[in-house]
Amino acid sequence: MKVHVMALRLIGGSGCGNGPCPAVYETENGTIVVQGFVVDPERAELVLPPGEGAVEIPRYILERALAAG
């Protein structure tokens, strides 16, 4: 079975040079992928359906992504 690799384009990130960092990407389908710190749904009082998750990113990363859009 061949796996399709999703093409991502970085549109907002922290610019850190020491490895993976929180970032916002645009996909080849025009959707958005957010990479960040995993949020514990119970602690945040979130109810998430199966297959969904929540991440936390610094505000300035989202602002950079919106400015690039």
Q: For the segment 46-67, what is each residue's pLDDT rounded down to a tens digit?
A: 999 999 999 999 999 999 888 9
Provide the token pair at 19.
């490895």
What pLDDT score does 19 carry?
A: 63
**Whole-prediction pTM:** 0.80
Tokens 């960092």 map to which residue? 21
- Split at pLDDT 50, 70, 90, the class of 26 is very high
CA atoms within 13 A on the CB side of 1: 1
